[in-house]
Amino acid sequence: MPSEPVSVVVRRRAKPGAEADFERAMQGFVSFALAFPGNRGIDVLRPQPGGSREYTVVDHFADSSARKAFKEAPDYRAWMVRLRELTEQDPYIEERNGLGGWFTPPEAAQPSAPAELKMALVTFLGVYPLTSVLPPLGNWLLPTWHPLLVNAIVTALIVAALTWAVMPLLTRVFARWLFGPQ
């Protein structure tokens, strides 16, 4: 069974006057990160015009080994040096494991999960269709297999779909509602 996905929240504040250079560097870093094996998506929250110069990046990895390989890559270290030159201080970095990482609120100064009811509703929207469609499909495709084996396969498919496809999509679709005012 694969290990849990990892989400990383990074906050950096661009130096005054270096915003354009930082934006270009950040775009280059995002392209590098998305091309790296095991990366499952990256979200960038840019500062509002005339507001703070703080950028928040939420980077999603397939698992902890993909995150570790990314951090150990020489190009990653070079990007960290380049971005550090354009920021005021060391970045805030937080890693989260499992499905909860998809609920990392990118705009909060101290990350906290959305209201439990909101998480439950979004999770329901992901789980219900999968649990309605996949069990009958599994029974239809594998009619001679033992029911417990079919159930194990279907459950593994549901968990994989939720982890790597459904929850990332739903979190993006409902981001404003999830991470807006509680």
pLDDT digits (tens, 9 = 90+) for 158-168: 999 998 889 88
pLDDT digits (tens, 9 = 90+) for 117-144: 888 899 999 999 999 999 999 999 999 9
Mean pLDDT of 44-50: 78
Is the pLDDT confidence value at 108 over 70? no
Look up residue 180 and give its amino acid. Answer: G
What's residue 101's pLDDT?
53
Scanning the structure block, which residue is given the tokens 């970095």?
A: 93
Q: Which residues are paired to 14 by β-bridges?
A: 87
What's residue 99's pLDDT?
56
Domain residue ranges in the chain: 6-103, 116-179
Spatial strand order of the sheet with 39-45 comes to 39-45, 54-61, 6-13, 92-97
Coil, strand or helix at 45: strand
Q: What is 6-103's CATH number, 3.40.190.10, 3.40.250.10, 3.40.309.10, 3.30.70.100?
A: 3.30.70.100
Tell which wins on pLDDT, 55 or 152. Answer: 152
CB 119 within 8 A of CB 182: no
Q: Are strands 54-61 and 6-13 parallel, antiparallel or unpaired?
A: antiparallel
The runs of H, that is alpha helices, within 48-146 are 64-72, 74-85, 116-141
pTM value surpassing 0.75:
no
